[in-house]
Amino acid sequence: MATLSIDPRVSGRTADFVATDHRMLIDGRFVAAASGKTFPVYNPATGDVITHVPEAEAEDVNRAVEAARRAFDEGPWPRMSPSERGRIMWRIADLIEEHLEEFAELESLDNGKPFSIARVADVPLTVDMFRYMGGWATKITGKTLALSAGQNFHSYTLREPIGVVAQIIPWNFPLLMAAWKLAPAMACGCTIVLKLAEQTPLSGLRLAQIMDEAGLPPGAVNVLTGYGEGAGAPLAAHEMVDKVAFTGSTEVGKLIVHAAAGNLKKVSLELGGKSPAIVFPDADIDHAVKGTASAIFFNHGQCCCAGSRLYIHEKVFDQVVEGVSHVAEGIKLAPGMDPACQMGPLVSDEQYRKVVGYIESGIHEGAKVAAGGPVSGHERGYFVRPTVLTGTNPRMKVVQEEIFGPVVCAVPFGDKDIDAIVKRANDTMFGLAASVWTQNLSLAHKVSRGIRAGTVWVNCHNVFDASLPFGGYKQSGWGREMGEEVLNNYLETKAVTVAL
Ligand code: NAP
Ligand code: MG
């Protein structure tokens, strides 16, 4: 059945899925866009079109939202016992796990990331997310409250699903971002319309099939493929939607806030970052070199929490810069399905141009290239070499703006007091994450307190777990993903008071 030559290394099953006539999931049925329009999906390792998917527009958004509304107001999903809901979520987890290799192939092909990474990170973390959140379905509780207004009252709170939820996700971890959004909302009994990223729709479409196979009732989750303006914007503005949850750029996050104003729907946002990694002179330097290199180069720097500002104490500056540069130069750039691949291409031509543009702007403003640079040596595909810049100053674009590529700015510090380096680390509009590299316990805790960010890692970076809340201070977002905290995004609290 596979007719397109996508990559000879993917299995026949994946090749067949890629070549199918793709359909969106609306109201329990797999459907084309109302207009019949489709748009192309690219393999970023070659730039070739590998398939087409439906292009949802306002009419499809309406159908999906109406289905989710019916499923919430009348359907079984919010009324099911929590244990039944949890069981369906675990079935989804089991099915994803059964198809682990297939999902990892789809992620690699569509996003460009190494297959070897997708199969040990993206897919297992997705499975964990459905299992962990499936467990919460049975543990959502209110409180009983003692009133000071008088003793003749019995008061308690109910935690109820917020309603119809619109979810809009990016392309950097296509399957995992879908799970971060879907699983907690499902556990709470919400119904959902999810819009996948235009660059990476394939794993989400396969997930839609699996959710259907697992027995999810019609309309409980609807999955759309489409562009931000054509599908995302009408979804975020829709009057029948009670809540919108968004992950992506800070710029589009602000558009979501405006779009939500019409019916004052609730909003949660997981946005960009410019996360500092701070290396103190007493750190285990070998460990810090490997860790801070991975902090920026993991997923090709396409992580909202990438350690893109590397502050290094002047005593160890040269040693750490040399070490990280050595790691960068040793990383094997290849298509994600190549077993030798350590870093694949960036997701798209647009991201490629943007990231190369940043490297060039840094050089133009006077930065020095310690490793990498704007030329990849690959004739095809959106490859960017892991790049280390030195000689920057705090006002350069490369230091202030989110690059979302494998580019790190190494900056020396000689500050005597901790407050000064903390202040530098906080000198950004973002506040998503940070890492601290030291063997001094008290220093580690003091810096962790001083950092204005939703996550601080000590002697590690990019450690994620379904149980750990994740999200941003400042312009990095509103609300938290994962952990118990995420349930707040998808629940309302009702206070009930009974006169006895
Ligand atoms: P983006 O434009 O913010 O896209 C994120 C999601 O929002 C996508 O599904 C997108 O659809 C959708 N969208 C776009 N415009 C919309 C609108 N007006 N209303 C509703 N939804 C809309 O991000 P991007 O263009 O893919 O990447 C741009 C930059 O964002 C990156 O370079 C990076 O700096 C940042 N980013 C951050 C994260 C993160 O995790 N924090 C993730 C990805 C990107 P389309 O797919 O059609 O664009
Ligand atoms: Mg976009």
For 336-384, the pLDDT digits (tens) are: 999 999 999 999 999 999 999 999 999 999 999 999 999 988 889 999 9
At 361 the pLDDT is 98
**Is residue 5 domain-resident?**
no
Q: How distant is the alpha carbon of residue 346 from its chain centre?
A: 15
Residue 37 makes CB contacts below 8 A (sequence gap 6+) with 54, 55, 57
Which residues are designated catalytic?
270, 304
Q: How far is the CA of 300 from the centre of ligand 2 (A)?
A: 18
Q: What is the pLDDT of residues 30-61, one digit of tens each?
A: 999 999 999 999 999 999 999 999 999 999 99
Per-residue pLDDT band for 3 (boundaries 50, 70, 90) equals very low
C-alpha angle with apex 210: 204 to 215, nearest 5 degrees? 130
Give 99-144 pLDDT, tens digit per residue. Answer: 999 999 999 999 999 999 999 999 999 999 999 999 999 999 999 9
- Residue 6: what pLDDT? 82
Q: Residue 132 falls within a domain, yes or no? A: yes
Q: Ligand 1 pocket test: which of 41, 198, 249 has the largest number of ligand atoms within 8 Å of its C-beta?
A: 249
Which residue's CA is minimally distant from atom 38 of ligand 1? 248
Q: How many domains does the chain have?
A: 2
252 & 284 share domain: no
Q: Are 285 and 257 within one domain?
A: no
pLDDT, mean of residues 77-81: 98
- Residue 120: C-alpha distances to residues 123, 170, 183, 258 (Å): 7, 20, 20, 38
Entry field: residues in the chain? 500
Q: How far is the CA of 259 from the centre of ligand 1 (A)?
A: 15
Count of helices and strands (H, E) across the chain:
17, 22
Quick one: the chain helix, strand, coil %, rounded to 5?
40, 20, 35
Of all atoms in ligand 1, which is nearest to the CA of residue 227?
47
Burial class (CB in 10 A: 0-12, 13-18, 19+), 357: middle
Residue carrying the six token digits 């040269």: 318
* Atom number, ligand 1, closest to the C-alpha of residue 403: 34
- Banded pLDDT at 487 (limits 50, 70, 90): very high
Q: Are residues 323 and 266 part of one domain?
A: no
pTM of the model: 0.97
> Tokens representing 386?
């892991």
Same domain, 452 and 489: no
Same domain, 267 and 301: no
Query: Are residues 403 and 373 part of one domain?
Result: yes
Range of the domain at 347: 276-465
Please indicate, yes or no, if residue 151 is contained in any of the structural domains: yes
Task: Count CA atoms within 13 Å of residue 71 on its CB side.
Answer: 26
Q: Confirm whether 283 is domain-assigned.
A: yes
CB 220 within 8 A of CB 77: yes
